[in-house]
Amino acid sequence: MTAGAGATILVFGISGVGKTRLIQSLSSNTSMALRWRASEIIAEARGTTDTDGLRVLPLFELRQSQEMLLAGFKARRERFPNELVLLDAHSVIDTDNEYFDVPVEVVAQLDPVGMIHLTDSVDQIEERRRTDRERLRPYRSLARLVEYQRRSIKVCEHYRDALKIPLMLVAFSDEVTFATAIESILAIKLRTSG
């Protein structure tokens, strides 16, 4: 059994940093992992295809969405118990009115062996958000994107400290750097479980 068998690695980063594209690129070039998106699991449970609309739900529904994520993730995991899963997710949701920090209790129930937080310059993130024709994202000033990215990292650092699992901060660059972060997390898992 390999270090990745049955493991979950959470991939965080703010909307527009390129999580989905990077994970898809890695997944299409290797069979090393399954790629799941938290928003798709929640949308499926809510009976909608509008994943972009999930972020503007009222706070009580955002909390309910986290329960739906856990139930949907558990059901998928039962079907694929031995696969490495990369879960594309957010530690902080920008709801337009305020930020919603995903509670550490939710993350703990996903039972991750580690986390990767992708970062990039806010200029690049803003350009991706503005030119992406597949997703509808609200306009955010560069200052707000800086605040959002800092908060997202800080929340992930809280998860790391509370759950005692590795957190790799990866500057958005390429698939090789990302794959190296995954391998590092799995090597830590192997060392600590052996």
CATH number of domain containing 160? 3.40.50.300
Q: Residue 41: CB partners within 8 Å, gap ≥ 6?
A: 68, 69, 72, 73, 76
52's tokens: 């972009």
Q: What's the rounded mean pLDDT across residues 74-91?
A: 96
Q: What's the rounded mean pLDDT across residues 166-182?
A: 88
Residue 77 has pLDDT above 50, yes or no: yes
Q: What's the rounded mean pLDDT across residues 154-161?
A: 98
Question: For residues 88 and 40, what is the distance between their CA atoms, to the nearest angstrom?
Answer: 10
Q: DSSP secondary-structure letter at 177?
A: H
- Confirm whether 1 is domain-assigned: no
Q: What's the rounded mean pLDDT across residues 129-138?
A: 80
- Confirm whether 66 is domain-assigned: yes
Number of domains in the chain: 1
40's tokens: 């798709």
Residue 120 has pLDDT above 90, yes or no: yes
The answer, as to whether pTM is greater than 0.85, is yes
- Confirm whether 2 is domain-assigned: no
Residue 135 has pLDDT above 80, yes or no: no
Residue 167 has pLDDT above 60, yes or no: yes
Domain, as residue range, for 144: 8-193
- Confirm whether 111 is domain-assigned: yes
User: How open is the CA angle 156-15-124, to the nearest 5 degrees?
Assistant: 105
- Confirm whether 133 is domain-assigned: yes
Place of tokens 């594209």: 21
Place of tokens 């609200």: 138
Q: How far is CA 184 from CA 18, 69, 166, in A?
A: 21, 26, 9
Residue 96 has pLDDT above 90, yes or no: no
Residue 12 has pLDDT above 80, yes or no: yes
Amino acid at 137: R
Between 49 and 10, residue with greater pLDDT: 10
Residue 1 has pLDDT above 60, yes or no: no
- Radius of gyration of the chain measured on its C-alpha atoms: 16
- Confirm whether 3 is domain-assigned: no
How many other CB atoms sit within 10 Å of the CB of residue 165? 21
Residue 22 has pLDDT above 90, yes or no: no
Residue 3 has pLDDT above 90, yes or no: no
Question: For residues 119 and 173, what is the distance between their CA atoms, to the nearest angstrom?
Answer: 9
At residue 30 the predicted structure's pLDDT band, cuts being 50, 70 and 90, is low
- Confirm whether 97 is domain-assigned: yes
